[in-house]
Structure 1
Amino acid sequence: MGSEECRDVVKLSPDRLSLQEVVDSVSSTSCGAISVFIGTTRGDVLEDRKVIGLEYEAYEPMVQSELSILCADIRARWPSVTHISVHHRLGWVALGEASVVIAISSPHRHDGQQAVQFCINKLKASAPIWKKEVYDTKDVTWKENAECPWAQAKAEWGGADV
């Protein structure tokens, strides 16, 4: 890969996420590909209620630790990955806005694309970031990611609390 040092960037912020900032943080003249994932808030309608936004909370020190482990895991699986950047929004996220932006640079697209898919799945499974759906009725529901081990266990037990 040359003499360029690999870089991992993890950012949690209440501010709107900047796609350009994330892309710039992984740009490299030694890489021909930057693979990106943007997760946005969608306005689902559930039981006559419409989602109007999401609210995120996190245990920030543990998120930083989990994402550092995740970056190391990505590098072990895809040694050609050069830079990894994960930005996640905290607080209120309106419809259409980004909740998470992930960018990974690599010399060729294949490794970066696979690494991005792996990254979002593992982030949702292991990072202590919680989301609350807010509805037009002012009701709220805390949502769990299907990728979380406790959600999988709950599903195996027929939806009963674990």
Structure 2
Amino acid sequence: MSIASPKKPQTNDSFAITFAPLSLADVYTLADDPANGAVVVMSGTVRNQTEGKPVVSLEYQAYEPMALRVFATIAQDIRGKWADVNRVVIHHRIGRLQIGEISVLVAVGCPHRSEAFAACKYAIDTLKHNAPIWKKEHWADGASTWVSIGACEQMNQ
């Protein structure tokens, strides 16, 4: 009779909060694994408007230690729902970003595409609601407003 050992922690996951530009190629490489049949990547970019109001840039801030813990918890939750997931990568930028720049990259590597898509959607949706990350929208008229990214998601649904 053997006793099942607890699942080993995933050392190949990658979580980051950074001022540096995010790279799709780098995040894809971090999510890739020989056992994957799919790598799904979600790229969030700075758009030029919110609810029809012109935006010139966004500024992100995060409480980094807690945000990284939230990212790790998201990966743990993903493995509870989709046990075959091989890699979870969550990278978020902070600082001032211009229109078209990537603000967040989430990638999930998995043997099957349906689980990879579902896990990636879960990761970005949960991040937006749970991570202590805020953005300041800088408007074309010179005004600006701070909002949590979770509040932004609720407004856009």
- Is TM (by shorter chain) over 0.5? yes
Name the SS of the counterpart of 2:84 in structure 1: coil
Q: Which residue number in structure 1 is paired with residue 146 of structure 2?
A: 142
Deviation sequence 1:68-109 (CA, Å, 0-9, x none)? 111100010000100000110100111011110111000110
Deviation sequence 1:32-51 (CA, Å, 0-9, x none)? 1001100111111667x520
Q: What runs of 5+ residues in structure 1 fail to find an aligned partner?
A: 153-162
- Work out whether 1:44 is the aligned partner of 2:49: yes
- Is this contact kept in 2: 1:40–1:100, CA < 8 A? yes
- 4+ aligned runs moved over 2 Å, structure 1: 143-148
- Is this contact kept in 2: 1:134–1:141, CA < 8 A? yes
- The two structures, once aligned, show a CA RMSD in angstroms of 1.9
Q: Which residue number in structure 1 is paired with residue 4 of structure 2?
A: none
CA change 1:25–1:139 in 2 (3 A) is: same
- Work out whether 1:9 is the aligned partner of 2:14: yes
Code of the aligned partner of 1:96:
G
Q: What runs of 5+ residues in structure 2 fail to find an aligned partner?
A: 1-9
Q: Which residue number in structure 2 is paired with residue 91 of structure 1?
A: 95
Superposition TM-score, scaled by structure 2 size: 0.86
Superposition TM-score, scaled by structure 1 size: 0.83
Distance 2:87 2:152 in 1: 25
Aligned ranges for residues 33-72 of structure 1 at < 5 Å?
33-44=38-49, 49-72=53-76
Name the SS of the counterpart of 2:34 in structure 1: coil
**Alignment counterpart, residue 123 of structure 1, candidates 113, 121, 127:** 127
- Count of residues in Structure 1 that have an aligned counterpart in Structure 2: 145
Q: Which residue number in structure 2 is paired with residue 159 of structure 1?
A: none
